[in-house]
Amino acid sequence: MKKLKYRIVIQWSDEDNCYLVGLPDFPGQKWRTHGNTYAEAVKNAEEVLVSLMQLYQKLGESLPHPEITRVCGKKFVGGVRSRSSGVGRQHRPLD
């Protein structure tokens, strides 16, 4: 069985004063969870992803296929959609 790799979007919200977490490959609401810190948002995202996968399995539904985005070594290959300018923000590497 091929291992599926899903995207996790983490974005700071001044309005909510926390990091919002989205799983764009899964249909439904835009934001799935949140965290007061980046690390907490990542942890919560992983928990929600596991829960969603278990729910799909319980309902007998196929998991959605991730949008194709590849990272090869340190070079990004794929498309990026930006919803905010991100000016002045630092981005952490995923590895």
For residue 27, the model assigns a pLDDT of 87
Within-domain flag for 89: no
Helix (H) or strand (E) segment spanning residue 11? strand 9-13
Range of the domain at 70: 1-83
For residue 94, being part of any structural domain is answered with no
Count up the domains in the chain and report the number.
1
Q: Most distant CA pair in the chain: distance in Å? A: 44
Query: What percent of the chain stands above pLDDT 70?
Result: 68
What pLDDT tens digit does each residue of the chain (95 aa) get? 567 788 899 999 999 999 999 999 998 878 889 999 999 999 999 999 999 999 999 999 999 988 866 555 555 555 544 444 444 444 444 54
Measured distance CA(21)–CA(32) in Å, rounded: 6
Could you report the per-residue pLDDT of 29-51, keeping only the tens digit for each? 788 899 999 999 999 999 999 99
CATH number at residue 19: 3.30.160.250
**What pLDDT was estimated at residue 32?**
87
